[in-house]
Structure formats: structure tokens, C-alpha cells
Amino acid sequence: MEKKNISLYLVLASILSLGACAQQSASSSRDNISNGRGSTGDGAITDTESVRYCETALTNSSSSKLSDFFSVIVSGLEGTPTICHTIEGFGSSGVDMYFMVEYEDNAGIRSVEFGPEHVISSKLVESGSNYSLEVIFKDDYGLVKVVGAGPQSTSIVTASVYYYNFPSYEEALDEAIAELREDCQNGTKTVAECLGYTYPTHWWNDTTLTTSQKDMAKAIMNDTTKRKLLGKAQIDLGVSDFPE
């Protein structure tokens, strides 16, 4: 009981400490988020020309989905969003994949690309007479999952592209404060933790992903209440159209 009373008193100091951390870090976080995924003009490719690189249509998409995914306002969408890709390797132990999503609107061309350094889970395997593809990427903004299957006779996979956006800094902070308050009230946290000396680090900010963290990412992308559909595409496994 004494520990609980101390925790109730110290949680206020902890919240103030977390608030101070927010003021110090929020500016840089918002600056990064304001730019959204990708870049306008020449996309994520270092080039002097403003051109589109991808030709494979991303169907079942929309301006609102693109706005949510790229964290920008999409206005006057021109044509269908597109994707391009390269897949290297085969098997259940992991494959490398380069993947790019691209669109054009009144503001110009915006794109985001993922490479092997973003892959946290991947496989390309035979399943009966079909190929089965599943790749999960992680960047600073969230998770992207490319998953689908298709006949070996054509090597064309009908794929769905899902995404999950990480909570904003403010949302993560509010959640951390709520959890900390509860844990300090019931005595789960130590005095030092309730004083804010051990500020919580969210798993997606960890530069070294452990097996458990990868499992959490897979669980999120398997949860239909959390993942969102960005679109669908016909991915030809035998074609490499990712821009060099």
C-alpha cells in the first residue's frame, strides 16, 4: 500500500517530465512528418527530371488512401497510382525486394521506395501450383505489406498492398502517459520509473529489430482492424521494373 501511495504522488512528476521531453522533441518530429512519405517533384529518385517511373497499376486505391499513406493532401489525382518492383531470391527463409509506390496530382509526382534494408519479413514460395509472396517493409512512418498468390504458369501474383501508420508523437506520448499513470497507481512501476527516469521507447523506434518485435509487426499486418488497404496490383515475378 505504501508503494502505491508513493506512486500516486510521483506519477504527477513523471507526467511533467514526459511533457518536457515532448516540448524538446516535438519540433523535429513534426518537421519530419510534415514532409510525409516520399518527396514531391522528382519523387524519391535523385534525378533532375520530374517523370513517372512505374507502370504497373495500383487499383482499388483512392485519393483519400494515398493522402493517409503519404501524410499529404492529394488533390487532382492524375491517372491511376502505380508500382514497380524487383524481387531477388526464393524461399521461406527470406527474399530481397525493391518496391515503389508512385502517383501524380496537382502538386506533382510523389513516390516512396522500399529496399532490402526496409524488409523485416519476407518469403516467396511454391504453394501447390501457385507462387505465394509475402513481404513486410518498415520505414520511419509505418509498415507496408505486399501479399498475394498466382499461378506458376504465368508467374503473375495478384497482390494486395496494405499499410499501417505508426502513431504520431503526440498519440504515442498520450498513450505512454496513460499506461504510466495506471502502472504507478497499481504499483507495477518502480519509484524511478514513475519519476520518469526510464522514458518508454516504442518498439518501432528501435534501430535493431528483435524476433519479438518482428512478430509484433507481423501481428499488426495480419490484424484486419489495424492494417489498411492501399491498393491491389498484378505483380509479374519474372519482371524487374524498379528504376536504377
Nearest-angstrom CA–CA distance, 70 and 186: 40
At 86, give phi and psi (nearest 5°).
-145, 135
Judge whether residue 19 has pLDDT over 70: no
- Amino acid 150: pLDDT: 97
Over range 176-200, report the average pLDDT: 72
Nearest-angstrom CA–CA distance, 63 and 50: 20
Predicted confidence (pLDDT) per residue in 192-202, tens digit: 777 665 555 55
Residue 121 forms beta bridges with which residues? 136
121 is written with which cell numbers? Answer: 519479413
Nearest-angstrom CA–CA distance, 86 and 242: 6
Nearest-angstrom CA–CA distance, 129 and 150: 9
- Amino acid 89: pLDDT: 94
Predicted confidence (pLDDT) per residue in 97-109, tens digit: 999 999 999 989 9
Q: Where do we find the cell 520530374?
A: 50
As a whole number, the mean pLDDT across the chain is: 78
- Amino acid 207: pLDDT: 57
Query: Which of 28-37, 111-120, 208-217 has the lowest average pLDDT?
Result: 28-37
36 vs 150, 154, 166, CA distance in Å? 33, 36, 12
Residue 113 forms beta bridges with which residues? 100
Nearest-angstrom CA–CA distance, 71 and 148: 26
Exposed, middle or buried, 6 (CB in 10 Å: 0-12/13-18/19+)?
middle
Task: Count other Cβ atoms within 10 Å, centred on residue 200.
Answer: 14
- Amino acid 172: pLDDT: 61
Judge whether residue 35 has pLDDT over 80: no
Judge whether residue 30 has pLDDT over 90: no
Kindly state the DSSP code that residue 167 receives in the 8-state scheme. Answer: P
- Amino acid 26: pLDDT: 28
**pTM (two decimals):** 0.72
Considering only residues 31 and 159, tell me which one the structure prediction assigns the higher pLDDT: 159
